Amino acid sequence: MQASLVLPRVTLKEVGLNNEGQSRKLSHEIMVIEDDMNLAEKYELMDSGFHVSYFKSGRNVFQKLKSSPPDAIVLDILLEEGEMDGWAILN
């Protein structure tokens, strides 16, 4: 028996017109937690209309998570921070 994974399709809702009269869409918030900025700075998410915030350190993430939780998180499990790796953040 083969296991399958189903992810929800992301659609951006139109929320009116911008100053140029073009359709303005509500952007989803994506949090990227990655200590290697060469891997973190992927523009595909921004080019697809997502608002992306980057964090190099797990310690800096918790305040943001409490005040404004994102719609999705991209998490590096093997952060080189010492006691705060991706597994600790996930827990």
pLDDT of 35 strictly over 80: yes
For the stretch 49-88, pLDDT in tens is 788 888 887 777 878 888 888 888 888 888 876 667 888 8
> What is the pTM (predicted TM-score) of this model?
0.65
If one compares 46 and 26, the residue with the highest pLDDT of the two is: 46
Mean pLDDT of the chain: 76
Give the pLDDT score at 23: 63
DSSP annotation string for the chain: -------PPP-PPEEEE-TTS-EEEPPPEEEEE-S-HHHH--THHHHTT-EEEEES-STTHHHHHHHS--SEEEE-TT-SSSS--HHHHH-
Strands 29-33 and 72-75: parallel
